[in-house]
Amino acid sequence: MTIRPYTTADKSACLEAFRSNMPRFFAPEELKDFGEWLEEQGKRDLSDKNECYFVIETAEKIIGCGGYYIRADKTTAVMTWGLLHQQYHLQGWGKKLLLHRINAIREVCPSCAIQLDTTQHSAPFFGKMGFAVTKVTPDFYGPGLDRYDMELKN
């Protein structure tokens, strides 16, 4: 298992992983946003640790991705587009990727609050990992996909 910085060569595998999670975890209309966001990630300066995006691979196959950015005021880090290909759910890969992201944030900003938003389908996973729900917005991502804002309890 390897977790490494995202490169533009990883885009198709990340999009494939995203598609495998539609429509349960992501609304189909989010695919375009994710693709455009990946384009921007491919242009980033990898030495800037205030915003990072990673891929997780096993057996030389990308099985997921996820990252974070630290807000300019250096008080909060926000998790970005974390996901695993559907066939790798419930096998511990998501936990490894999430812990990698948390550790990367703590190296750059030890006192930052860590926040994320997700759906009702992934919120229980993050709850087990120490995140608490701070707000729920029904149908935010699309019909039947509620937004759960969560923050890591320290």
Q: What are phi and psi of 137, to 5 degrees?
A: -120, 105
Q: What would the pLDDT profile of 52-83 be if each residue is shown by its tens digit?
A: 999 999 998 999 999 999 999 999 999 999 99
Instruction: Return the pLDDT at 125.
Output: 96
Domains of the chain: 2-152 (3.40.630.30)
Instruction: Return the pLDDT at 142.
Output: 87
Instruction: Return the pLDDT at 46.
Output: 81
- What confidence tier does 48 reach under pLDDT thresholds 50, 70, 90? confident
